[in-house]
Chains A and B, each alone.
Chain A
Amino acid sequence: MYRYDDHDRQMQRERVAQFRDQTRRFLAGELEPAQFLPLRLQNGLYIQRLAPMFRIAVPYGCLSSKQLRKLAWITRHFDKGYAHFSTRQNVQLNWPKLPEVPDILEHLLEVEMHANQTSGNCIRNTTTDQFAGVSPYEIEDSRPWCEIIRQWSTFHPEFAHLPRKFKIAVCGTEHDQAAVQVHDIGLYIVKSAAGEIGFQVLVGGGLGRTPVIGSVIREFLPWQHLLSYLEAIVRIYNQEGRRDNKFKARIKILVKELGIDVFRDKVEAEWLHCKDGPATLTLAEFQRCKSFFPEPAYEVLTDVNAEVENLLTQDVLFSQWHERNVRAHKKPGYRIVTLCLKATGSAPGDLSAEQMEFVADLAERYGFGELRVTHEQNLVLTDVRVSDLPALHKALKNEHLATPYTGLLNDMISCPGGDYCSLANAKSIPVAESIQRRFDDFDRLKNIGEMTINISGCMNACGHHHVGNIGILGVDKKGEEFYQITLGGAANRYTALGKVLGPSFAQDEIPDVIEKIVELYLAKRLDGERFIDTVNRLGIEPFKEHVYAKAD
């Protein structure tokens, strides 16, 4: 993992001191609420429905055991003993007290963490594929590039007052677990025919009120020019992005209004000014950042373990968990294990302080003390020895962290919704729970197969509803909470936006609606066809007819 040097530590210390002073001036009435607003947002602090919400950055989803223990400690001392893992690979506290936030930041700094730019109209936490560095299907490890972008974007003086928030995602694996195409800038790491590393650059993707899939602005950007090219894009956006209407202020609207070709011309013209300037990356800097992500001390192991093979045939719970939550690793004898934070009855992505400490211990016992946060709101142990899988499963079972639902219908993405968020039109968590209760049976879920359900409590789309195979969006209908269903969304290399099924439903109707959609899929699917493929083959009409058919 990346470790702070004196420069990182000094700047972060100054950041905490600055925010402490800003908080003091706000509490003393010297700073107006409107003036304090962007300052607190860029330090992660929202004012929510019931209390402030504080968002801590987990840079590109990488977390150490030590950091996770610290988070657990913080939730106990400053909050209510639990935290929420978000779709942006960050951690959110729901009950902090405003005057204590500078103290929390100080504690975070002790473990080289921060809340910089986790909100506000600036460049946010760069996200990536949770399997970076351990996936067998990797072109190149994205983490050093994410760290380079993190440093460049941190306290960037020119880009702290953009028209709107700005999100960058990087992906170096073939499958794309980072939803790259729905980011303001998406970067796919590619290699040229000569083996040179570069990026395919996408721009203008995003969810929210106007969902858009990003357009390719450059097919191949040699790595040396990464920062100057990002700078050119963000500068054009800062100057020309709309500021008259909050809902039209994201870069996707600018790209749409200009057209990608005109936007590209502007960026390339701007880039000519910055290209080969001091922002040009050096091999030394790339190698320095890369040195923080070395291959850990893997043992030479055989890939097959007799005890595991035996359990797969003898122990149903183990084999279910193994089938869904354990995946291939680039090294023989190792596996990547997902901890699915979707146990029925608990809010998706929530973890108690005790669970956090428990997981931190596991990451040390069954790995190298590192873990990942996924944009599907799960956690990942990256380096588990095959021979440790039985013991790990047993331990997870005891803490209710062995839910074998990764990638299945019940592995839902959900925003915190109206229970916490003041922007929400409707609640999300109870909807997720009602679906989970309806489908809480492994064999049934397995029969249905791979499927994503994403739930957002409002159009801001924190639950990524547009790109769920089934999307559920909370809407306000004359003061009542209703839910609109979309079908056919996907967030991978084949990113697609779901289409609206029809009129919205009341909350208690949702499990039946999902049931009907699943029913039709099971009746119509071809051999081995996943839900998304059936929807793509048939279109949404048959689903619409089936769901809205009047009962006889």
Chain B
Amino acid sequence: MPRLIDRTGTVQPNPWELLPRDATVETALAAASEHIIVNALLWGEHKAALKQGGKQVAVWLDSDQTVDLIAADLAELPLVALNFPGFMDGRAYSTSVLLRRHCGYSGEIRAIGDVLRDQLFYMKRCGFTMFDLKDSVKLEDAQRAFSDYSGTYASTVEEPQPLFRRVQRAGA
């Protein structure tokens, strides 16, 4: 069953093969898929070789890796995947915000790892656009998650205007 959904909850095809952190250029280029997601460190060290391998290359950041590893290369990355090693590790929320707001990245930001139903709304608000659901998550449940809230108070990536700028609110 396909496990990848976009921010409307629609199931999307997934041509991308995610390669582990200890992958090498050789194993990456030998991957079955023509679309590979390599860790930022491998990308940083072997950018040229990876690009010459004839595959589409994207990058993933683990939660202990920061945006500056890939900031200079964002224009050539169609997709950045951010890993949640555990769903309570919230670093990727800020990483996504930094990618969107500070780096102006407009490609796909994909949530990978421990991606559960109850965090999807917040991820979407922080600029994630694609969600690789964990196996245990029920698809129909996850699809409902994006409408958990009709809005939020603070300025977010998805809705930069905070509530107080977005609507006319009455005082006492």
Contact B169 A157 (CB under 8 A): no
Residue of B95, B119, B155 contacting most chain A CB atoms (<10 Å): B155
Q: How far is the CB of A380 from chain B (nearest CB, A)?
A: 22
Tell whether, in the assembled complex, residue A14 and residue B88 are in contact, meaning their CB atoms are under 8 Å apart. no
Of A49-57, A183-191, A288-296, A541-549, the segment with at least 4 beta carbons within 8 Å of chain B is A288-296
B148 within 8 A of A: yes
Contacts of B160 in A (CB 8 A): 277-278
How many angstroms between the C-alpha atoms of A101 and B125 in the bound complex? Answer: 27
CB distance from B124 to the nearest CB of A (A): 8
Residues of B within 8 A of A151 (CB): 153-154, 163-164
Chain B residues closer than 8 Å to A15, beta-carbon distance? 149
Tell me if B40 is interfacial: C-beta within 8 Å of chain A. Answer: no
Given contacts A18-B148, A291-B171, contact A161 B116 (CB under 8 A): no
- Is B48 an interface residue when CB atoms closer than 8 A count as contact? no
In the bound assembly, the distance between CA atoms of A72 and B91 in angstroms comes to 40
A156 at interface by CB-CB < 8 Å = yes
Give min CB distance, A17 to chain B, whole Å: 8
The residue of chain A having its C-beta at the shortest distance from the C-beta of B170 within the complex is: A5
A-B contact count (CB 8 A): 125
From 33 to 58 in chain A, residues with beta carbon under 8 angstroms from any chain B beta carbon are: 35, 38-39
A507 within 8 A of B: no
Contact A273 B102, beta carbon cutoff 8 Å: yes
Which one of B88, B89, B118, B154 contacts A152 once the chains associate, using CB atoms below 8 Å? Answer: B154
A7 touches B (CB below 8 Å): yes
Distance in Å: Cβ of A59 to nearest Cβ of chain B: 13
**Complex alpha-carbon distance, A195 and B164, angstroms:** 25
Q: Are A157 and B118 in contact (CB under 8 A)?
A: no
Majority secondary structure, A binding face: helix
Q: Are A157 and B122 interface neighbours, CB within 8 A?
A: yes
Q: Which residues from A are CB-within-8-Å of B2?
A: none
Chain B interface extent, by class: 35 or more
Could you tell me if A238 and B172 are in contact, using CB atoms closer than 8 angstroms? Answer: no
Specify which of A39, A157, A239 is in contact with B126 (CB 8 Å cutoff).
A157
B94 near A239 (CB under 8 angstroms)?
yes
Task: Determine if A287 and B171 form an interchain contact, defined as CB atoms under 8 angstroms apart.
Answer: yes
CB of A158 within 8 A of CB of B170, answer no
Q: Is A100 an interface residue (CB 8 A)?
A: no
Specify which of A3, A31, A38, A235 is in contact with B94 (CB 8 Å cutoff): A235
**Which residues of the other chain, B, contact A152 by a CB distance below 8 angstroms?**
153-154, 162
Contacts of A25 in B (CB 8 A): 141
Q: A157-B121, A161-B87, A278-B161 are known; give 17 further A-B pairs, CB within 8 A.
A: A3-B172, A7-B169, A11-B151, A11-B153, A18-B148, A22-B118, A35-B87, A38-B88, A121-B88, A157-B125, A158-B93, A158-B125, A161-B88, A238-B90, A238-B93, A279-B155, A292-B171
The 5 closest A-B pairs by CB, nearest first: A161-B90, A291-B171, A157-B125, A157-B122, A285-B164
Residues of B with Cβ closer than 8 Å to A?
66, 87-91, 93-95, 97-98, 101-102, 116, 118-119, 121-123, 125-126, 138, 141, 148-156, 160-165, 167, 169-172
Q: Can you list 28 contacts pairing A with B, beta carbon distance less than 8 Å?
A: A7-B169, A10-B150, A11-B149, A25-B141, A31-B118, A38-B88, A39-B118, A152-B154, A154-B153, A155-B149, A156-B153, A157-B122, A158-B126, A161-B90, A162-B90, A163-B90, A227-B155, A227-B162, A239-B95, A277-B160, A278-B161, A278-B162, A279-B162, A281-B164, A287-B171, A288-B164, A291-B172, A292-B171
